[in-house]
Amino acid sequence: MPNDYQQGYDEAVRHKSRTEDNWVRSAFGPIVWLGVPLAITWWYLRRGAGAAAAGGAKSANPFSDMMEMMMPIKKRQFRVEVKGTKFENVIGIPEAVVEVRQYVDFLNNPNKFTRLGARLPKGCLLTGEPGTGKTLLAKAVAGEAGVPFFSCSGADFIEVMGGSGPKRVRELFEEARAASPCIVFIDEIDAIGSRGGGKGGGSVSSEENRTINQLLAELDGLATSGDAIVVMGATNFQDNIDKALLREGRFDRKVNIEMPDRAARVDIFTYYLSKICTGDPTGRLKDDDGNDLQVDKTVDNKVAAQELSDLTPGLSPATIATIVNEAALQCGIAGKTVVDRTSLYEAIDNTQLGKKHRNRAKESSTRRTAIHESGHALGAWLLPQQRNVIKISVTPRGNAAGYTQRAGPEFHEYQTNATLFSDMVVLLGGRAAEEVVLGNVSAGAMDDLQRCTDIVMKQLLSFGMSGNTGLLAFSPDANNSGRSFVKYSEGTQKHVEAEAVRIVDAAYEMMLDIVRKNREKLETLANELIEKKELMHDDVLRVLGPRPSSPTTAELSQQLDKITHGGSPPLKGEPIVAVA
């Protein structure tokens, strides 16, 4: 034990002497272990910042530069080739073409305006429903002017790392300035141009704020510079865009692109029919190798365009292009040498409703479906306020076991209290037919009842079409948002619901009377529908006869006024519908 103690004591003395002799190591060792990595990191960041400054892309966020060096982001190429796109390729929106045509002169001959002291407009916002041709219109401006076209989407500026959104904006405009004169197109600009608080509510992050601010700064820089750059944006939700982005001097021109009317749809169908082989000399008559196709003329493109436009009110140009392409695809699958008229009509149903599939329903279910759809068709046929019945079918398509197709309204067609009431009558036609003919009703009318409820609630809460509820307009869609978001009181809700029940009951009594008066014809129509699976307009005309001229809109409005001003439904036991 003494030897062990002495050995330990000697070791401690030797360790103390070594420590006292090498005090530099003990004093500066920790500094070296911590300082060297920090110095290397500082040098690496300074080197990256110097390279960015030399390239003219100095960042205001050193952290984003460090993150980018650790996880490099590939620089996006925004330039898109549009040489083959001209105004002649933009069909169905002539008013919008006229409004943006002036930008071609702004880019090609700016002195025409600047000599008069005018300031060239730098921003143009294209708004409208999806599929109306906003992107194509912007490409056509660049194609006509013969200038470079830079295209991006609002989602392109959204990255995981902080500061990458403003960096993308700077890269886009730097590339555009190097190629001016040019056009910069930002699709779905509401993805980066919204700060929240609009109709959709919600909040916005600091990263999105920085991206918007960078975009505003770039637009202001264009306004004070001599660069011939036009910025065009496109959105379906103009109300959600920050007001600072829409002020004069930035996006000071707004071009609204509307859905095509009948004349525009004829032009659109004619254009797309000329791209496929219908046998018409104005269409495609050569194969991919340039050889002539020996086909018979089965479709007159001009006549077909007019007929198809009558069947597709309210559809966008993109949907029309899909319909024509779907017809060509199905003819190719079937091995046909030409796109025939039947395939074009079938493509409308395939696009809007879904493709046919095997009927798995029992015979009793098929009969109920036929009676249900015949009830809808009967109500639409006997009410002059409704558009013509085009087709009735019990062939399943998509989620529908059957359907009644009617000509839809045009985009700018107004709805009145009489047309809305007649819509409710027709929607309740299927349930009324089941009750009168079969003696019981099914759950198949659930969607009809939901749509009927939506109509009457909007009629009372949004359109001010009731003398009892007044002329105040609320938002019935807010019902799904919870009680705290509803703008009207519980008393108003109770009153409106009672009023809605009275109107819907009156519509149902009216439809029941129509079915009872025309039960024999309804059953004949249903039996033919079961046999043929599909009935066209001529078949309905043969069974139900010519459409009546009463009740007129004035008569229907008068009856509806009696209902909505506190009287009992006058239609119960007192039909005003002419019997076919």
Residues with Cβ < 8 Å from 573, sequence gap 6 or more? none
CA 176, CA 122: separation in Å to the nearest integer? 13
pLDDT value at residue 513: 93
> Cβ–Cβ contacts within 10 Å for residue 247, how many?
13
pLDDT value at residue 28: 65
pLDDT value at residue 324: 94
CA dihedral 95, 97, 98, 103 (to 10 degrees): 150
79-257, CATH topology level: Rossmann fold (3.40.50)
CA 291, CA 296: separation in Å to the nearest integer? 16
Residues with Cβ < 8 Å from 210, sequence gap 6 or more? 163, 165, 166
Residue 279 has φ and ψ, to the nearest 5°, of 90, -15
Q: What is the 3-state secondary structure (H, E, C) of 342-369?
A: HHHHHHHHHHHCCCECCCCCCHHHHHHH
pLDDT value at residue 159: 65
Helix axes 490-517, 519-532, angle to 10 degrees: 80
Residues with Cβ < 8 Å from 460, sequence gap 6 or more? 466, 469, 496, 499, 500
pLDDT value at residue 273: 92
Q: Which residues are catalytic?
A: 373
Using CA atoms, how far residue 332 sits from 199, 321, 343, 383, in Å, is 46, 17, 11, 41
pLDDT tens string for the chain (580 positions)? Answer: 556 777 777 777 666 665 555 556 666 667 767 777 788 877 777 775 555 545 444 444 555 555 555 445 556 678 888 888 889 888 888 888 888 888 888 888 878 877 877 777 778 899 988 888 899 999 999 999 889 999 888 777 776 555 677 888 888 888 888 888 889 999 888 877 676 544 544 445 677 778 888 888 888 877 666 678 889 999 988 877 888 888 877 887 889 998 888 899 999 999 999 988 888 888 777 766 666 666 767 788 898 999 899 888 888 899 999 999 999 999 989 988 888 888 998 899 888 888 887 777 788 888 999 999 999 999 999 998 888 898 899 988 877 788 888 877 777 778 888 889 999 999 999 999 999 999 889 888 899 999 999 999 888 888 888 777 778 888 655 445 555 556 777 888 888 888 899 999 999 999 999 999 999 999 999 999 999 989 988 899 999 999 988 888 888 887 777 776 654 444 443 444 444 4
CB 232 within 8 A of CB 184: yes
Beta bridge partners of 232: 124, 185
Residues with Cβ < 8 Å from 392, sequence gap 6 or more? 373, 374, 377, 402, 403, 404, 405, 525, 529, 534, 535, 540
Half-sphere CA count of 377, side-chain side, radius 13 A: 35
CATH number corresponding to 262-352:
1.10.8.60
363-564, CATH topology level: Methane Monooxygenase Hydroxylase; Chain G, domain 1 (1.20.58)
pLDDT value at residue 354: 83
Tokens 């091995």, residue located: 335
User: Structural domain boundaries of the chain?
Assistant: 2-58, 79-257, 262-352, 363-564
Tokens of residue 474, six digits: 């609320």
